[in-house]
Amino acid sequence: MIVASAPAKIILFGEHFVVYGEPAIVLAIDKRARASAELRTDKRIYINSVDLGLSGSFMEEQFQPELGGEEARTKLEPIKIATQKVLHFSKKQVGVSIEVESSIPVAAGLGSSAAVAAAVVVAVSRLLDAKLSKEEVFRFAYEAECFVHGTPSGIDPTISTYGGVLLFQRDRGFKSLNVEGDIPLVVGDTGMERSTGEQVAIVRERRKHFPSIIDHVIKTGREVALKAAKALETGDLNALGELMNINHALLCAVGASNEPLERLVYAARKTGALGAKLTGAGGGGCMVALCLPEKLEKVAEAIKRAGGTTFIARKSSEGAKIES
């Protein structure tokens, strides 16, 4: 059996604006999805998602559910796609059993589906002795993500594949940022699942009604992200926090926030966070607060009192990798 893992992510700056070609800053964090892979004696792709309680097997385009009925087919399809991409690359006609488990909240803006896809690609490629480059791992994970999100920006599979802290731009790829120090973060989850596609459509609609205003907001988002990249590389946490607050205000302006997110953001700021903002598509999902290390627990408690569930996140320099 081969076991691989890949990290979740937090978008620190530039969500939504990245859709319009502007830069975003994303970091891998220490929550990971894990995938194990074993060869089968038949040619089926069997998948078991421990966290979702769904399982079943694919034989070409036929699906045989084990747990979860037709819902299982939809939810497990991206894992099948990731596996098929590696099988096709390896030119081996074999069956594979996949088991996935993850500590990453689902539909919360933390890149859970991309982390699962990247972990599956790495596990299956090692199982089949298919030597994939990082770029190929990214591409196969991205193609699996397309089933989930339509035409995603590519930011999630990029960070799950490479890890670290990246400045990402849709048409220009990414640049690794040299971030030496810790970035002490509290993540607050509203518990509201949301659709990235629906949130992107809300912003698009607002831009259609007020194009000159929203385009100006988007361009300002670019300036914020570029200044934040410098603050990260120099370790200026105070400037970073202030820029997070500005970025959040811009996201509110384009329609990405909602009341549960605002409650968590303001609870964090009131308790001494250096900065707090939504992360990901908004409309629910998660927010993130930057704190001095001694304030992490206090800010986490404040977010809980405001109705969120929390965890403390650390940056992870490792992307998708073999565990055993």
User: Annotated catalytic sites, by residue?
Assistant: 156
How far, in Å, CA of 230 to CA of 203, rounded? 28
Strands 95-102 and 45-49, sheet pairing: parallel
Q: Quick one: 85 exposed, middle or buried, by C-beta within 10 A (0-12, 13-18, 19+)?
A: buried
For residue 114, the number of C-alpha atoms closer than 13 Å in the C-beta half-sphere is 28
How far, in Å, CA of 34 to CA of 57, rounded? 19
Q: Which residue has the tokens 């790829």?
A: 173
Strands 321-322 and 2-13, sheet pairing: antiparallel
Report how far Cα 283 is from the mean position of its chain's Cα atoms.
Answer: 16
Written as one letter, the residue type at 16 is H
Pair 102, 115: CB distance under 8 Å: yes
DSSP of 196-232? HHHHHHHHHHHHHHSHHHHHHHHHHHHHHHHHHHHHH
DSSP 8-state secondary structure symbol assigned to residue 54? E
DSSP of 169-192? ETTTEEEE----S---EEEEE-S-
Give the residue among 272, 256, 285, 203 at the shortest CA–CA distance from 20.
203
